[in-house]
Amino acid sequence: MVRAVLGLLSLVSSGLLFGQTSQFDVLITGARVIDGSGGAWYYADVGIRGDTIVAVGLLGGAEAGIRIDGRGLVAAPGFIDIHSHGRRGIFAVPTAENYLREGVTTIVEGPDGSSPVPLAPFLDKVRQTPISINFATMVGQGSIRELVVGLANRKATPAEIEKMKGLAAQAMRDGAFGLSTGLYYVPGNYTPTEELIELAKVVGRMGGIHISHMREEAAHVLDSVRETIRIGEEGGLPTQITHHKIIGQGNWGKSVETLKLVEEARARGVDVTIDQYPYTASSTSLSALFPQWALEGGQKPLAERLTAPAERARIKAAIVENIRLDRGAGDPKNVVLANCPFDSSLAGKNLAEITRARGASPTLENAAESAIELQQKGGCQAVYHAISEDDVVRILRSPYTMIASDGEIPVFGEAAPHPRSYGTFARVLGVYVREKKVLTLEEAVRRMSGYPAQRLKLWDRGLLRPGMKADVVVFDAEKIADRAEYQRPHQYSVGVRDVIVNGKLVLRNEAVTSERPGRVLYGPAHR
C-alpha cells in the first residue's frame, strides 16, 4: 500500500497524470532503490527528464527515450568523493574512467592545503573541458601562504595575514567549497594554529568548510585531532579530519582515543566529521620521510643542506626514525615508489630493493641514503604500508565517517599509483559491506552520497529523490568489487553497470559512452 501511494504521488508531482506528457528521457525500472539518506531500500522505478530526477515510484508503463532494466540491481545517488587529487588527470583523461567504474559522479579537488590560486582561471579551464563527471574544489591554505609568505618557516606578519584572508575570500567567491589545510606539508606545517583560525573565520562566514590533512598521523595524532577540532570551534565553521588513519605500528589502536575526541567535541557542539579510504597503506611524496625543517625554501635549499655534513647527518637521522617509527613501519620494504618522473622504471620498487640495487644491504641507514639520493634527483611519489586494519575498521564504523579516495585520475598503465585511485568506493561496498559486514549497504551508500553532499551544502545532489539532479549509479551489490592491487594497480573495479551524470549516461552496460555532461560545481559564496 505504501509503495502504491508513493508511486501515485510521484506520478502526480511529475505531471504524468491528468493528461500531461508521459515521456521520460531515462527510466530505470524495477531497481532496488537506496536513496542516500541511510533509510531502508525499496523497489521502485526512477524517471529522469533533462538533468533532473522527476519521479520515483511505479513508473514502468511510462514511455522513455532510454529504458534501463534495474531488476536485480541497486539504483543509488552517484557517489561524491570529498577528497580527490583529480586535477592530476582531469585534462589528460576527461572521462575519469577510474571513478566512473566505481560509481563516482562528483569529485572534490584542492585537498591537503594545495590548490590553484587564484581559482577562477583554473575552474574556467575545467568548465571549458568536456568532462564526464562533476568537478568541485577547495582552496588550499598552503598555496595561499606560499603565494604571500613563500616557503619560509616563520610566522606571517599582520599585513600578510590580511592579504591571505583576502585571497581566501576571493577563492570562496570564485567557487571554493571551503579551506583545505595540509599541515603535514611545507608550508602548511610552518603555520601557527592561530593563523589558520583567522582564515577559517573568513571561510566560515562565507558558508565554507575546513578539511585538514593534520600535522601528524603518528605519535602526535591526538594533538593533531585536537588542533583540527580547535580550528573548527574557534573558526566558527564545520571542520573535518581527512583520510583519517593511524600511522606507525607503535601508534596502532590510537583510533580509540581519536574517535573519543571527535565524539566529545560533537557533544559540546563542534561540527567535526571524518573521511577515510579503506586501505592499510597511505601515499604521498617521498619527501614525507624528511624532517619539515629541512624542506624550508624548496629543493635548492634542501640540496645545499645535504652538502653540509652536519645538516646531512641530522636529516639522515630523521629519515631513519621515520622509516623505523612512522611511515616506514620499521622496514624499508614498506616504502614503495609509485612514480619517479626522472626514472619510470622505479615505479613499483620498494626502498629495500632500491638500496640493494645500490650495492648496499637494506638497513635503515642505507635506506635513508637511498631516499636522499632519490630526492636529490627530483623526488618521487611513494606508497607507505604502515596502517593497521583494526584502525581502518574502527574508524569506518564511526557514524561520523564518510568515504573519500585521496586518489587521482591516472593515465591507465602509467606509473604505479595507490590502488585507492581505482578501488576505494567499490572496495567499501565489496569488502566492508558484503564480506565483512562492517556497514549496511544503505549506510555505506549514505556515506558516499547524502552525507558528503550535506557536508558540502550540495542541496540538489546526494539523494535519489524527485527534484534532485540526476546523478545516479546502477550497480550489482553481489558483484561490485575492487580489482586494483598494490603491485597491479591499473585494474578497474567491477560491478557498476550504468552511471548517469546530469541526466546523461556516461557509462552504459559497463561501457564508457561519448557523453561529457560533467559540470563545475560552485560553492556557497560563488558570485
pLDDT tier for residue 6 given thresholds of 50, 70 and 90:
very low
Residue 467 CB neighbours (<10 A): 11
Residue type, 483: R
String of DSSP letters for 98-160:
HHHTTTEEEEEE--TT---SSSHHHHHHHHTS--SSEEEE-EEHHHHHHHHT-S-SSPPPHHH
H or E segment to which residue 24 belongs:
strand 23-33
The packing angle between helices 158-174 and 193-205, to 10°, is 40
The CA radius of gyration of the chain, in Å to the nearest whole number, is 23
State the average pLDDT for the chain. Answer: 95
Residue type, 477: A
Residue 405 CB neighbours (<10 A): 31
pLDDT score for 399: 98
What are the residue boundaries of the structural domains of the chain, listed by start? 79-283+390-460, 284-385
φ/ψ of residue 279, rounded to 5: -135, 160
What mean pLDDT comes out for the span 259-263?
A: 98
Report residue 48 as a C-alpha cell. 529522469
Share of the chain above pLDDT 90, in %: 95
pLDDT at 231 over 80: yes
Whole-angstrom CA distances from 331 to 245, 249, 322 are 19, 11, 10
pLDDT score for 259: 98
pLDDT score for 60: 87
pLDDT at 26 over 50: yes
H or E segment to which residue 337 belongs:
strand 335-339
pLDDT tier for residue 22 given thresholds of 50, 70 and 90:
low
Contact 16, 62 (CB under 8 A): yes
Helix (H, G, I), strand (E, B) or coil at 264: helix
What is the distance between the alpha carbons of residues 338 and 270, in angstroms, rounded to a whole number? 38
Contact 285, 93 (CB under 8 A): no
pLDDT score for 3: 42
Residue-wise pLDDT for 289-330, tens only, equals 999 999 999 999 999 999 999 999 999 999 999 999 999 999
User: What's the CATH code, domain 79-283+390-460?
Assistant: 3.20.20.140
Question: Does the predicted model carry a pTM greater than 0.85?
Answer: yes
